[in-house]
Structure 1
Amino acid sequence: MLATDIPALPRGVRLHHDKVRDTWVLLAPERAITLDMVGHAILTEVDGARSFADITSTLAKRYDAPVDEIVKDSAGFLDALRNRRFLDVLA
């Protein structure tokens, strides 16, 4: 994922809180992924308007973590979602 890429959830994909299991899931038509705290933190910043660099900068400040570590972890997570068609990337 490039710093200028703008990640966005495609139509039909959304974050949902599963009250029965008390966990967050990413829902898509006929598919779902259970999210851990890190995945949820990343996806709550994905709004389809801000760049990957903006998102990772915000996360690094919020969690007082090194930006390069946040970039590495976030890129891997978002690339995996993109490969499974849970995420679009706008140029």
Structure 2
Amino acid sequence: MRRAAVTDWRPRLAPAIVLRHDRARDTDLLLLPERVVILRGAAGAVVGLCDGTRSVRDLVDELAGRFPDSAVATDVPPFLEGMRREGWLR
């Protein structure tokens, strides 16, 4: 996929997938029809921004402000693309 196509994509959760915070574990979860995915680190913050209105470029810019010492620009696009391959993001 072309780099521009990846950064212009506006990710959102696929239907029937829900992002929830588990207070008992103090972690974010993706609730899928027949399984639960535990999101580690800042993954919940990344997925929480995937509402279909922001492009990947916008997400990276916002997250770079929140996590200035992280490699957001190199880590977030492949993370989101992997989630799209799994069918969790559209």
Distance in 2 of aligned mates of 1:18 and 1:70: 25
Task: State the number of aligned residues.
Answer: 86
- SS of aligned partner of 2:7: coil
**RMSD value, Cα:** 1.6
Report whether the alignment pairs 1:37 with 2:37: no
Structure 1's consecutive aligned runs of 4 or more residues displaced over 4 angstroms after TM superposition are none
Kept in 1, the 8 Å contact 2:7–2:77? The answer is: no
Structure with the larger RCO, 1 or 2 (CA within 8 Å, 6+ apart): 1
Q: Give 1 or 2: higher strand fraction.
A: 1
* Structure 2 counterparts to residues 18-57 of structure 1, below 5 A: 18-57=22-61
- Structure 1 unpaired stretches of 5+: none
- Identical-residue share of aligned pairs (%): 33
Normalised TM-score (structure 2): 0.83
Normalised TM-score (structure 1): 0.82
Distance in 2 of aligned mates of 1:50 and 1:44: 11
